[in-house]
Copies of this chain bind each other. A is one copy, B any other.
């Protein structure tokens, strides 16, 4: 039987999710509050497919709906992509919880808000979780599945199974945590990077090269744990026996929140391509991500 999915919100992330589900053969119902977004949605999906090299016939699986009730009717999963505003999220979830059948799972793409903040007090809070993608999810497959304190384990099981079924890579967290995993790791890298740049140890370009021609290459193939497991003859325990003292010393000395200064923002703004180039550079990034996705699929 064809799986049926609702996508709420037709911006960049909502459209990318729509493509993820549609190209996996799901029937997708897309709704956005803004009629103009709804009117453009199918054309923009076609353009997204063209850029990513996905088969545009997937779009035949998508139906744009005129109201939220029609979108969520009879679906197994709602992927919500509303604004990162707590009041709006609370209103959306109250509405979704009222409209969706009891066994429909309600999943938020939120990166900033944890589920307890907007699920609290709702009758259906056990079916609400965060399914946090990386932008754009049709090109970067990881999805962090973060439960709230009331999310049912079987909801998490179904979430994990669905993400596998649509060829994403679910990472299941056991409990609610600010920033989930991905942004916690990104935050420490940014803090230390900004400090090294502001202190003039390295240029922004040099910092980027260190990652994209260095650690990033390892990390595109192996995560950090698999990488250190191969960086000592006796595996990860041997690695930690040899290097933990050094790594602990460097961590103790690492920058924290104070590294996010106005001054370093100015240094970066002066060094990086200007905002006018952001759309074209983003298009190029997505083309390269699509090619990398094909490469990694073929070289697993």
Contacts and interface: CB of A to CB of B under 8 A. Distances in A.
Contact of A251 (B188, B203, B272, B291): B188
Contact of A169 (B139, B213, B237): B213
A88 interface: no
A244 interface: yes
B214 A226 contact: no
A278 B235 contact: yes
Interface string A53-73: 000000000000000000000
A135 B186 CA distance: 23
A219 B219 contact: yes
A269 B231 CA distance: 13
A185 B181 contact: no
B217 A292 contact: yes
- Copy number in this complex? 2
A285 B182 CA distance: 23
B223 A212 contact: yes
Contacts of A249: 178, 257
B235 A223 contact: no
B208 A226 contact: yes
A209 B190 contact: no
A34 interface: no
Given A217-B292, A260-B244, A185 B175 contact: no
A209 B213 CA distance: 20
Contacts of A257: 247-249, 251-252
B225 A210 contact: no
Looking at chain A's contact residues, the main secondary structure is: helix
B235 A274 contact: yes
Interface residues of A, number: 108
Interface in A237-262: 237-238, 240-241, 244-260
Contacts of A37: none
Interface string A8-36: 00000000000000000000000000000
B177 A201 contact: yes
Interface string A207-238: 11111111111111111111011110111111
30 contacts: A140-B217, A142-B213, A144-B210, A169-B213, A172-B206, A173-B206, A174-B201, A174-B202, A178-B250, A181-B196, A184-B196, A185-B210, A187-B247, A189-B189, A190-B251, A191-B254, A193-B224, A216-B218, A219-B219, A220-B292, A225-B272, A230-B285, A235-B273, A236-B265, A237-B269, A244-B265, A251-B255, A251-B257, A251-B260, A295-B295
